[in-house]
Amino acid sequence: MPTPRGGFNDHCEDANITAVIDGVALELASVLDKSALASAMQRIVDQLLPVEYTGLYFYDPAARALRFAFAKGFTEEQRDRLERTAMERKPGRVFLTKEVSYVPDTEMDGEKLVTARLAQPIRSRLFLPILYRDQSVGVLSLASVHKNYFHDKHMAVAQFLSRMTGVVYTNLHQIDELNKQLDLIRAQREELIELSAPLIQVGDGVLLLALIGAIDVERAHHARRILLQAIAMRRAHSILLDLTGTIEAERSTAEALVQIAQAVKLMGAHCAICGIRPSIAAELSAREGELKGIVIYGTAGEALSAILPARARRARRQFRTSTW
């Protein structure tokens, strides 16, 4: 009785083998994440290499273990056991040696099968390393209930699939790592933006916003947002913008400062600016008309000396008036 064949063998007999391979390559190249890759590989393997048992492992560096991306033909308990012992069995050896392992007849194989209680006993097995630039990233596992099942054409398509999978998986992994780095950079940038505009309450109703470093559009928006929120929440009546820590300015910096100062005035608070650098002064001079009502001081010390006693004197006068 001849050993059953199927899947890719049928396609190999046709003249459209190139179209089949191109279609597989296109499907794998179009996946957007590792989950989609696993689903695509399971469909492709079922179509081209229809066997009773299949599995795709990828290596997890953190756990130093092979993890199933998908597995077909096993119970959940069997799958867990296969995954747990993968590095100790043929999948692990194939992963480490980067060499294909074919067992044409499991009855002649010395390794005891973990899945000995399968409904349909495995008679032949094929393991292929998933490689990218000579580095193992996983293992493709195929098993049939027929001995001597896998022939040269099965080997050829399985190796093609394993190579394609290695490239796609590694690209997706690199994209994941890049996204993690970008998330970290964004988080660090947000933290730097927070630190670049510390808001300090220096007196009753008096807030000092110290601007540090380069004041770009994003930082200016952040400074304006936190300042306006603080004015409303703390009922601030006087705001001091300290520019001592800023670096050389562009035209957008002066525009941002004017917008902050005008927003403060619209909230009903007085606004003062100190520590203006020459480059910022040159830009602000062209906007002198927009700075009406904003007091300029040389240093933060001069500004606070003027603002705090003035507020205290006004408070004392208001107190005396109210007691009459």
Q: How many residues in total does the chain contain?
A: 324
> At the topology level of CATH, where does 195-323 sit?
Transcription Regulator spoIIAA (3.30.750)
| Nearest by Cα to 164 from 295, 253, 41 | 41
Residues of the chain with CATH 3.30.450.40: 8-176
Q: Which residue, 165, 223, 164, 161, is CA-closest to 192?
A: 223
Could you tell me which residue, 277 or 324, shows the higher pLDDT?
277
Convert the pLDDT of each residue in 14-37 to its tens digit.
445 677 778 888 888 888 999 999
pTM above threshold 0.75: no
The pLDDT of residue 117: 72
Tell me the C-alpha distance between 17 and 40, whole Å: 19
Helices (H) and strands (E) in the chain, counts: 10, 10
Residue 222 CA from chain centroid, whole number: 24
Q: Which of 129, 135, 141 is nearest to 174 (CA)?
A: 135
Stated as kind and residue range, the H or E segment containing 229 is: helix 217-234
- The CATH 3.30.750.24 portion of the chain extends over 195-323
CB 281 within 8 A of CB 310: no
Which of 19-33, 120-134, 167-181 has the weakest average pLDDT?
A: 19-33
Cβ within 8 Å of residue 260, ≥6 positions away: 220, 223, 224, 227, 241
**Averaged confidence pLDDT in the chain:** 83
User: From the centroid of its chain, how far is CA 108?
Assistant: 48
Average pLDDT of the segment spanning 62-82: 93
Confidence label for 135 from pLDDT (cuts 50, 70 and 90)? very high
Say which residues have a Cβ less than 8 Å from residue 298's Cβ, sequence separation at least 6. Answer: 274, 275
**Residue 173 dihedral angles phi and psi, to the nearest 5°:** -65, -40
Strand partners, 142: 54, 126
The model's confidence at residue 11, banded by pLDDT at 50, 70 and 90, is very low
Given CATH 3.40.630.40, say whether it is the number of domain 8-176. Answer: no
Cβ contact 127:141 at 8 Å: yes
At 286, give phi and psi (nearest 5°): -75, -10
- The backbone torsions φ and ψ at residue 259, rounded to the nearest 5 degrees and listed phi first, read -65, -40
Distances (CA, A) of 250 to 183, 253, 254, 291: 28, 5, 7, 18
Residue 8: pLDDT over 60: no
Task: Kindly list the distances between the CA atom of residue 4 and the CA atoms of 13, 50, 55, 145, 146, in Å, as whole numbers in the listed order.
Answer: 15, 11, 21, 10, 7
pLDDT score, position 92:
96
Q: Is residue 222 within 8 Å of residue 256, measured between CB atoms?
A: no
